[in-house]
């Protein structure tokens, strides 16, 4: 099963098992990763699942669609590697993906 690494702003790391097909948000909330709430349940309307995704994984993802990009504009401290975790499904190719929780989220 792919492993996803969530990193807190203070550098604390949490490695979780994420079944293929689950979203990064679901993997985070099911493992109680602080700072990732998933308030809207994954319907791309809250941005409480915002993360920064490291390379090389970021470039492998299907780019954010218009709705996700719009939500990211209103997210906490958006950056060039921002994604909504609920819009990123886990695949085998993403094993080891590193996702950073934005400071203050």
Q: Which is nearer to ligand FES, 24 or 56 (CB)?
A: 24
- Candidates 5, 7, 16, 40: give the one binding ligand FES (CB under 6 A): 40
Q: Which of residues 47-66 bind ligand FES (CB under 6 A)?
A: 47-49
Quick one: which segment of 4-12, 33-41, 52-60, 90-98 binds ligand FES (CB under 6 A)?
33-41
Here the tokens at position 66 are 């218009």
- Rounded Cα distance, 80 and 96, in Å: 20
Peptide bond into 63 cis (omega under 30): no
Q: Please tell me whether residue 69 binds ligand FES under the rule CB under 6 A.
A: no
Residue 42: helix, strand or coil by DSSP? coil
Residue 59: helix, strand or coil by DSSP? helix
Q: Please tell me whether residue 38 binds ligand FES under the rule CB under 6 A.
A: yes
């Amino acid at each position: 099963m792919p492993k996803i690494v969530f990193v807190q702003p203070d550098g604390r790391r949490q490695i979780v098992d994420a079944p293929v097909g689950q979203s990064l948000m679901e993997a985070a909330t099911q493992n109680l990763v602080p700072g990732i709430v998933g308030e809207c349940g994954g319907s791309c309307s809250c941005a409480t699942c915002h993360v920064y995704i490291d390379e090389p994984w970021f470039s492998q993802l299907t780019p954010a669609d218009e709705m996700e990009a719009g939500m990211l504009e209103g997210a906490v401290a958006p950056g060039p590697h921002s994604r909504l975790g609920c819009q990123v499904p886990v695949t085998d190719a993403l094993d080891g993906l590193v996702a950073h929780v934005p400071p203050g989220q």
